[in-house]
Structure 1
Amino acid sequence: MKTKITSMKRAFILFWHGLTALLVGIANWFTVILGMRDDSKYGKFLRRVVGSCFAFIMIVFVAAAGSALCEAVYDALEIDKYLDDSYYDQQYLSRNAMFYIKYGEDGFVKTVDGETTITGIKWIAKPLGMDSLVCYSDGEKRGYFNKFTGQPVIKPQYDHAWVFSDGLAAVDDDGWIKFIDATGKVVIDPKIPYIPDCEGYVFHNNLCVISNDRLDRFGMIDKHGKLVLKPEYFSIFPSGKYWIVDNGDGKCVLDSALNTVIPFLKGYIWVNDDYISVTLDNHIIQRYSLSGKLINDFYVNDVSYLTYETNDLRYITSKTYNDDGTLASETEETDPQPVERMAKCKRYEAEGGWYGLMTADGKVITPPSYCDIKAIGYDTYLCKDNNEDGVILNGKGEKIR
C-alpha cells in the first residue's frame, strides 16, 4: 500500500509540471493571437492583465481537475482497502451484500454497487429460516442490519442479543430477556433475568426454550409469551418439527403441538426425515414412524462368523525353486499353526461396537451387551464388556463357571 501511494505521488508531481508548462505555452500563444507584440509600456501592461486573467482561469480549472484526481485516488485506496479478496474473509449475505473481515481487524458490509454501509463490525450472526435481520456487534453493543440491503435497522444498543427466528429475537434489556420484532419493538416480556453463559432464546416452530433462574431446568413459551411447558426438564432440543425432551429418567418426543409422539424411554433418540430412530440403554436399536408407530423393535447392523482354534496343528513348509522350475529345497517351519474351525453360533452387531450371540439360523441368544465376543470352542464363547471384564457363555447364552 505504501509503495502504491509513493508511485501515485510521483505521477501527480510529473503531471503538475507538465500542466504548468503547457499553460505558459498556451498563454504566450493566446497573447500572440491577440496581436500583443507591442513592447511599449501599455503593451506590456495589457499582456500582464490578459495573462493574469488567463492564469486565474487555468488555476481554477487545474484545482477542479486536481480535486477530481485526489477523489479518484482516495476512492481507489478505499476500494483496495475494502475489496482485496485475498486480504479479507468473506461471508455471503445476499445477492446484494457481502460481509468482509480480516483476523485482528474490524469487518464491514459492502453492497454490490460498491457502497460500504456498516464498518467497525466485530462479528455477525445470521438469522434462521426466512428472517432477514443479521445480528452484529461493534465490540461494545449489539444490533441488527438487513442482509438484503446491508443497511442498519436496529442500532447497537444491547449488551447481549440473539439471532432472529420466526420473526422475533431475544435481547438483554438491562439484565432482562425480552423479545423484539423487526422494528425493535418489545413484543414479549417473559420476566426472565439474563443468566451468563445461557444458550438458546431462539424460536423453532413458534416455540422457544427458556430456563428457570438456576439454569438447571428448562421449559418453553410460545410467540405470545405464554408458558406452554413448565421449566422442569433437564433438557429440551429441537429436531426438525419435533422436540426431544429429557426428564432425567428418560427422553420423549413431542410434535410441534407438544403432543407425545414417543413416550419417555431410556436411550438416545434422533429424528430423521422419514422415521425416528431410538437406541436404548441396552444398545438395542428401534425405529418408529414420524407418527410414533413402532416399525421394528430390533435392528441389526452386521452379522459375522466366529472361528476357534482346535488342538490340531498345521505344519507349514517353505519351498525354493531353481531357475528351470525344479524344486531346490523344502524347509519345514519350526512353529506349527493351530487349525481354525467354524463355531456353532454367530456374532451380531446392534449399536455400533456392541455385540450379541445368535444362532446360525438368526435367532438372538443374548442381547447386544458385549464389546467383544470371541469363540474359544465349538460352542463356547468369551464375551467382554466395555471394562474388559469377560464371561464364558455356551451356545444357549448360559454362563459356564
Structure 2
Amino acid sequence: MKRLAGMVIKISLAVILVMIAFKLCRSFYRGVINPRVYWDDETISETLTSRGFSRGRIRLYHDEEERYTTKYLDWVAGFSSDTTLGVFATLDNKRGYFDTKSGEVVIPAEYDRAWAFSEGLAAVAKDGKIGFINADNEVVIPFMFDCPKPGHMLDYVFHEGYCVINALDGKCGAIDREGNWVLPQEYLYFERHECQDGCWTLVDSVGNMGLLDAQMNWICPLQYDKIRVLGYPEFIDLVDEGRMWREDAHGNVLIDFMYEYLNELSYPESLDENNDIDFHMSDYAAYRVNYRWGLLNLKTGKPLTPAIYGDIKMVSKYLFSAECSITLHETLLDLDGNMVNVGK
C-alpha cells in the first residue's frame, strides 16, 4: 500500500508539474511570442470583437460564447449597419466574408480583392477582373471589369441601383445592377453626394463639370467650371467663366450674382509726416470665385468684371491693376472695369 500510495503521489506531482509547465509555456507564448495587443481591439457588433495580436494580426472573438471564431487574420473591414457581412483578409492576402454577429466565415477566402456589400451586392476581384456576388457567393455580374492597381481603386458600392467603375487609365463610368453601362467610362471624376435626395457630380476629359440626380438623369450639362451641391435639391451653386450664381434643380435662377470672398480695396492718397503712405477706402472691392478675382462696385452691388484675374489691387483713385492668371502680366482697368493699358 505504501508503494502504491507513493506512486500515486509521484503521478499527482508529475501531473501538477506538467500543468504548471503548460501554463508557464502558454503564458510565455501569449506574453512574449504572441502577446495580445489590446489597443488594436475593435468592437464589430454587440456580440463580436476583433482582438489584436502581435505583428498586426487579429482574430474574431465571440463575446457571449467566449471563443475565437477564426484563425489569425490580417484585417477585417466593410462592416456597417447596412449589412451583416464584413470583409476579412487572410495572412496570405486572400479575401472572404464573415457574419458580423456570429463571427463565422460565410464566404471563404477565395478572392484577391473584396469590397463591402451594398444593396445586396459586393464587388470582388479574381485574376485581375472585378465582378459582383450576392450574399450566397453567387456571381450576379460577371468578372468583366479591369481591376486597377492599389491606390487607384474606388469603393465599388451601389447607390440607388448604380455603381461607379473606373478603367485602368482612371476614366470612370457607371453601371446598373445587371452590369449594363449607364454612362460610359469616359469621365475623369465621378462622385456621389449624400445630400437630401442624392446626386452625382462628374468631370469630363477637358475639366467641365456636370450634375446628375440619383437616377442618373442630367440636371446640369457638362459645361461648368464648378458645381456646389450642399443645398441640393433646393438649390445648386454654379460657376462658369468667372461667374457664380444659384439655381434650383429646375434651372430657375435664384441668385444671379455670388462670390466666395470679398476684399474691399483702398488706394494710396498721400504721405503722412513720416513719409508713410496713407490709404483711402474706395467704393470698390475684389471678389473671389473659384480662386480667381473680379472687380465689384460696392455702391451698386454689381460686378464690373468676371472673376478671371489672379489678383486685383487699386493703384490710384481711378485705376486698378489686374494680374492675368495665366501670363501673370499686369493690366490696368478703369472704374468701369474696362482695360485701358497692358503692361509687362
Query: What is the number of residues matched between the two proteins?
Result: 329
Contact in 2 for aligned 1:267/1:278 (Cα 8 Å): no
> Does residue 231 of the first structure (1) align with residue 171 of the second (2)?
no
2:312 pairs with 362, 373, 390, which one? 373
Which residue matches 1:43? none
Contact in 2 for aligned 1:190/1:225 (Cα 8 Å): no
Which residue matches 2:244? 285
1:205 pairs with 160, 175, 184, which one? 160
Distance 1:348 1:119 in 2: 61
1:313 pairs with 268, 271, 277, which one? 271
Distance 2:322 2:213 in 1: 41
Contact in 1 for aligned 2:210/2:223 (Cα 8 Å): yes
CA separation of 1:67 and 1:167: change in aligned 2, threshold 3 A = farther
What SS does the aligned partner of 2:321 have?
Answer: strand
Which residue matches 1:178? 131
CA separation of 1:340 and 1:220: change in aligned 2, threshold 3 A = closer
> Does residue 349 of the first structure (1) align with residue 288 of the second (2)?
yes
Which range is displaced more, 247-256 or 287-296? 287-296
Which residue matches 1:364? 303
CA separation of 1:399 and 1:353: change in aligned 2, threshold 3 A = closer
CA shift, 1:82, in A, is 5.0
CA shift, 1:315, in A, is 0.9
CA separation of 1:304 and 1:215: change in aligned 2, threshold 3 A = closer
Scaled by the length of structure 2, what TM-score is found?
0.80
Query: Structure 2 counterpart of 1:162, which letter?
Result: W
Contact in 2 for aligned 1:356/1:365 (Cα 8 Å): yes
Query: Structure 2 counterpart of 1:282, which letter?
Result: E
CA shift, 1:209, in A, is 1.9
What SS does the aligned partner of 1:300 have?
Answer: coil
Which residue matches 1:247? 204
CA separation of 1:105 and 1:242: change in aligned 2, threshold 3 A = same
Mapping 1:114-263, distance limit 5 Å: 114-127=66-79, 130-138=82-90, 139-189=92-142, 191-197=144-150, 199-200=153-154, 201-211=156-166, 215=169, 217-240=171-194, 241-248=198-205, 250-263=208-221
Query: Structure 1 counterpart of 2:139, which letter?
Result: V
Greater helix proportion: 1
Residue by residue, what CA displacement relative to the aligned partner does 1:226-264 show, whole Å, maximum 9, x if unpaired? 333343444432222212233335322222222222222
What SS does the aligned partner of 1:163 have?
Answer: coil
Contact in 1 for aligned 2:294/2:303 (Cα 8 Å): no
CA shift, 1:211, in A, is 4.5
Query: Structure 1 counterpart of 2:87, which letter?
Result: C
CA separation of 1:165 and 1:315: change in aligned 2, threshold 3 A = same
State the identity as a percent: 24
Residue by residue, what CA displacement relative to the aligned partner does 1:166-221 show, whole Å, maximum 9, x if unpaired? 22112223443221112222122163344545523332222112346x64643322
Contact in 2 for aligned 1:343/1:377 (Cα 8 Å): no
Which range is displaced more, 97-106 or 201-210? 97-106
Mapping 1:81-96, distance limit 5 Å: 81=34, 83-85=36-38, 88-96=39-47
Distance 1:232 1:305 in 2: 43
Residue by residue, what CA displacement relative to the aligned partner does 1:87-122 show, whole Å, maximum 9, x if unpaired? x53444223333345784433333435533334322
Contact in 1 for aligned 2:35/2:53 (Cα 8 Å): no
Which residue matches 2:222? 264
Which residue matches 1:53? 4
Contact in 1 for aligned 2:37/2:53 (Cα 8 Å): no
CA shift, 1:130, in A, is 0.6
> Does residue 295 of the first structure (1) align with residue 254 of the second (2)?
yes
Distance 1:215 1:314 in 2: 62
What SS does the aligned partner of 1:391 have?
Answer: strand
Query: Structure 1 counterpart of 2:203, which letter?
Result: D
Distance 1:129 1:219 in 2: 27
Scaled by the length of structure 1, what TM-score is found?
0.70
What SS does the aligned partner of 1:400 have?
Answer: strand
- Point out the structure with max Rg over C-alpha: 1
Residue by residue, what CA displacement relative to the aligned partner does 1:266-313 show, whole Å, maximum 9, x if unpaired? 212243255554452434333344566543232123434322222x43
Mapping 1:28-67, distance limit 5 Å: 49=1, 51-59=2-10, 61-62=12-13, 65=16
Contact in 2 for aligned 1:356/1:369 (Cα 8 Å): no
Aligned Cα root-mean-square deviation (Å)? 3.2
Structure 2, gaps ≥5 residues long: none
What SS does the aligned partner of 1:148 have?
Answer: coil
Distance 1:107 1:67 in 2: 30
